[in-house]
Structure 1
Amino acid sequence: MGTAADSLRSELRTLVAEHVPPGFLGAFTDDPADLATAQRFAAILAERGLLCLAWPEEFGGRGASAWEQTVVREEMWAHHEPRGAQYMGVNWVGPTIMRHGTPEQRRVHLPPIARGEVIWCQGFSEPDSGSDLASLRTAAKPDGDGWLVSGQKIWTSYATMAQWCFLLARTSRGEKKQQGLTIFLVPMSAPGIEVRPIRCLMGPHHLNEVFFDDVRVTEADVLGEVGDGWRVVQEVLAYERVGIARYARCERLLQRAPRVLGDQWEELPAELRGRWARMLTHCRRARLLAYRVVALQSQGSVRPGDAASYRIAVTTLDQDSAEVLMEIIGLAEPAGTEGRRFRAEVEDHLRYSHASTVASGSIEMQRILLARQLLAAS
């Protein structure tokens, strides 16, 4: 990416070292101090113009390139995402509002995202409409000058702390299930919304059920056109699926293993060290696939299959690298404070990897999307 990218990486790593405590494993742990750390760090990035680096200046960014934003994405994910849930607003909620929102929606929503002050959650998946998102049943029924929304969402990350929900609901029925879907920007404080946390391996705050009981929304809450939500969602998912640089954390952990183990590294079985080397190769493959999608997004020509190919590579990398790293720390005992921290990071990586082939669309659906694109091109 060049000298500018190297300088940006150095700046970000310095900020992480100065403002993120050693042993930090993300914002959403049992310790409230971790979320507070992330909120402070997001504010520091925002003050320096680094949080929404590639956003246009008129919306609170610096007008930087998509490649510079990719550097931020990589460094944040490599260091356990010290922005907390801000990546959601930065990567796709804000850009989607820029493209499809009204002037008033831009005025209300973009400045708080650019300052790192607001947390968003995504109201997409439902108990019987996960991978088949278009079959969702949450309905917005006409009521005077607005709608009443009723239904249930599930696996909703950050819903317990989010101030806003990017909600997909059905406003009408058409010949195809993708028709009649509408996006609403809904405050989580609205009457009729109930959040129930789902305990899981990844810890608190990650996954929740969200219930909507006659939640009132108006024309001002609609993003884009009524009934045109599916088209916007396809664009959103392409940005979301490449927005988390999972390969960066995999690569950082893999590269740290020999340094942390020291002399014990050479005592590991040659077969295991060979698999470790293959994982580094797979990290490079996932990175290059991500860069391909970033380039396509910059040209405005990204297709669902393009993002799917990256997702397939990076989610399998997540799980395969976690398996190799767990075997390494199982055969060698990382010593000292650094060793204990490394073990904690690897175990955290393993927990996240369990969900990686399901989150943001299952790997089976990604394969279907990629197959359809390849067949259409043949």
Structure 2
Amino acid sequence: MGAAATELRGELRGLVARHIPPDYLGAFTDDPADLETAQGFCRILAERGLLCLAWPEEYGGRGASVWEQTAVREEMWAAHEPRGAQYMGVNWVGPTIMRHGTGEQRRRHLPPIARGEVIWCQGFSEPDAGSDLASLRTAARRDGDGWLVSGQKVWTSYATMAQWCFLLARTSRGERRQQGLTIFLVPMGDPAIEVRPIRCLMGPHHLNEVFFNDLRVTEADVLGTVDEGWKVVQEVLAFERVGIARYARCEQLLQAAPEVLGGAWDDLPAELRVRWARMLVHSRRARLLAYRVVALQNEGRVTPGDAAAYRIAVTRLDQESAEVLMDIAAFAAREGERARRFRAEVADHWRYSHASTVASGSIDVQRILLARALLGAK
């Protein structure tokens, strides 16, 4: 990535060391202080122009390269993502508004994202439309000069804390299910929106049901063109799937294992050390696939198959490395602060890994997308 990225990594690691507690495992725990830590850290990054580093200066960035932004992404995920939910606004909500939003939408939404002041959630999945997103039923029906939106979303991360929702709804029926879908940018504080948290293994705040009860939206809330939202969604999903650099966390934990175990490392079963080495190779494979997609996105040539190949590699890595790390952690000393933190980090990684092959499109759908790309099918 070059000298600029190396210097940037050093700056980011210094900021994490100064502002993030050693026991921090992410923003979305039972302790509200963890979310405040993340929000405060985002403001620190924003003040230094590091939160939206690759954004144009006119929108609050520094006009840096996509590779410098990739370095930020990797350093954040290696440190348990101290930006909290901001990665969503930074990685794809903001860039999508830049490309498809009106001047007023850019002025309204981009500065708060660049300052780290606003959290977004994504209103895509529904009870009967998860991996098959185009079959969604949430509908926006015409009402005067706007629409009334009714329906249900599910598995909506951060909905309890988000101020805005990137909402996909059906506005008409076409020959194909992908036709007639429209994206709306809607405030989560509207009384026509009801959020019901779903308790799960990953803890609070992550998963929610969201109900829209005749939510009024207008032309000013439409992102892009009415009935042509599917084109934007395809672009969004590619950016979302690559924007989460969980391979960096996997590699950080794998690299930490020998140091944490110390002399006990040599006592590990040979088969377990082989599995550990294999996971290091797989983490670097996922990193290289991510770099390939970043390069293609930068050139405007990325396809669903490219993103799917990366997504398959990184989600498999997530789960397989978690199993290896749990086995290794069992050999760590029972005493000592570093060993305790390592076990906590590994347990956290293991919990999250269970959802990795389902979140942002199931691995089965990713395999279908990749197969279609390889076979030239539509």
TM-score (norm 1): 0.99
C-alpha separation in 2, matches of 1:99 and 1:140:
23
Give the superposition deviation at 1:183: 0.1
Q: How does 1:294-305 map to 2 (within 5 A)?
A: 294-305=294-305
Equivalent position SS for 1:147: strand
Deviation at 1:334, TM superposition (A): 5.2
Structure 1, unmatched stretches of 5+, are none
1:329 Cα deviation (Å)? Answer: 1.2
Aligned residue for 2:294, secondary structure, equals helix
How many pairs are equivalent? 378
2:352 is aligned to: 352
CA-CA distance at 1:2 after TM superposition: 1.3
8 Å CA contact retained: 1:334, 1:343? no
Offset of 1:377 from its aligned partner? 7.8
5+ residue gaps in structure 2?
A: none
Confirm or deny that 1:54 pairs with 2:54. yes
**What secondary structure does 1:183 align onto?**
strand
Q: 1:138-287 maps to which residues of 2 (within 5 A)?
A: 138-287=138-287
Q: Deviations over 1:203-254 (max 9, x none)?
A: 0000000000000000000000000000000000000000010100000000
Corresponding residue SS for 1:338: helix
Q: What residue number does 2:76 align with? A: 76
Question: What SS does structure 1 have at the residue aligned with 2:376?
Answer: helix
**Aligned residue identity for 2:283:** C
SS at match of 1:204: coil
Deviations 1:270-321 (A, max 9, x none): 1100110010000110000000000000001100010000000000000000
CA contact (8 A) 1:268 1:332 kept: no
Which whole-Å CA distance do the structure 2 matches of 1:3 and 1:331 have between them?
38
Shift of 1:335: 3.5
**Amino acid in the other structure paired with 2:130:** G
Structure 1 residues 9, 302: CA separation in 2 closer, same or farther (over 3 Å shift)? same
Return the alpha-carbon distance in structure 1 between the equivalents of residues 89 and 354 of structure 2: 24
- 8 Å Cα contact 1:261-1:334 kept in structure 2: no
Q: What is the CA–CA distance in structure 1 between the aligned matches of 2:248 and 2:23, rounded to whole Å? A: 18
Give, in whole Å, the separation in 1 of the partners of 2:11 and 2:72: 10
Identity %: 82
Q: Residue 184 of structure 2: SS of its match in structure 1? A: strand
- Corresponding residue number in structure 2 for 1:34: 34
Match of 2:335 in 1: 335
Distance 1:335 1:255, change over 3 A: farther
1:3 CA displacement: 1.2
Measured in 2, the distance between the counterparts of 1:374 and 1:241 equals 19
What is the Cα-based RMSD across aligned positions, in Å?
0.9
CA deviation vs aligned residue, 1:127-176 (integer Å, no higher than 9, x gap): 00000000000000000000000000000000000000000000000010
Q: d(CA) in 2 for partners of 1:50 and 1:192? A: 36
Residue number in structure 1 paired with 2:375: 375
Cα distance in 2 between the residues matched to 1:119 and 1:262: 41
CA distance in 1 between partners of 2:339 and 2:273 (Å) = 18
**Separation in structure 2 between the aligned mates of residue 78 and residue 72 of structure 1, nearest angstrom:** 10
Q: CA deviation at 1:24?
A: 0.1
Residues 1:15 and 2:15 aligned together? yes
Call closer, same or farther: CA 1:324–1:334 in 2, change over 3 Å. Answer: farther
For the 8 Å contact 1:73–1:245, the answer to whether it is kept is yes
Residue identity matched to 1:315 = T
**Distance in 1 between residues matched to 2:256 and 2:46, nearest whole Å:** 29
Mapped to 2, the partners of 1:171 and 1:136 lie a distance apart of: 11
Per-residue deviation, 1:260: 0.5
Take 2:84 and 2:331, find their aligned partners in 1: how far apart are those partners? 33
**1:185–1:222: 8 Å Cα contact kept in structure 2?**
yes
